[in-house]
Amino acid sequence: MSLPDDRVAQIQAEWRRERPDLDVSPQGVVGRLHRLAGYLTEELVTVYERHGLGEGEFDVLATLRRTGAPYERAPGELAAHTMVTTGAMTKRIDRLVAAGLVERRAAQGDGRRRIVALTPAGLSAIDAAFTDHMANEHRLVGQIPAQDRAALERILARWLQAYER
């Protein structure tokens, strides 16, 4: 099977010409993953924006939603589950509070502990956005055959494991 003549292949050819002493084959994987990640992010963000959300806000709402009822977490837990700094999380929460999608309040049984919880409007918003998000992801991965998707998922999971251990 021959690879397509895409921008990454052109870049590799240029480097092979200029630096024949180096093996530039990793660019075939890393370069394509990097470019594809950019395209996929654009496609995902478009759906979030249709629901009035940015990528960060979607991430916070989705994290709260998947915790199950009563859809709440401490701000530090949210930061850990979304892999952003607590400062960035504070800004995201502020925007979501202003939009009426989450609320900050004292935790039950411990008035000193603060939590962030989905409001009814937030629950409705994330359920609608996530439904569209999943349809979009099905559309995106539907561009490659099912057998290739399954193989790609296994390969990426093994590779990601090397970083997330």
Measure the CA–CA gap between 165 and 162, rounded to whole angstroms.
Answer: 6
What percent of the chain is predicted at pLDDT more than 90?
Answer: 79
Q: What mean pLDDT do residues 91-112 have?
A: 89
Average pLDDT over residues 104-133: 91
Q: How far, in Å, CA of 24 to CA of 32, rounded?
A: 13
Average confidence score pLDDT of the chain: 92
Which residues are 104's β-sheet partners? 116
Q: Can you give the pTM of this predicted structure?
A: 0.87
pLDDT for res 81: 83
- State pLDDT tens for residues 38-72: 999 999 999 999 999 999 999 999 999 999 999 99
Average pLDDT on 80-101 reads 89
Per DSSP, 101 falls in state: S
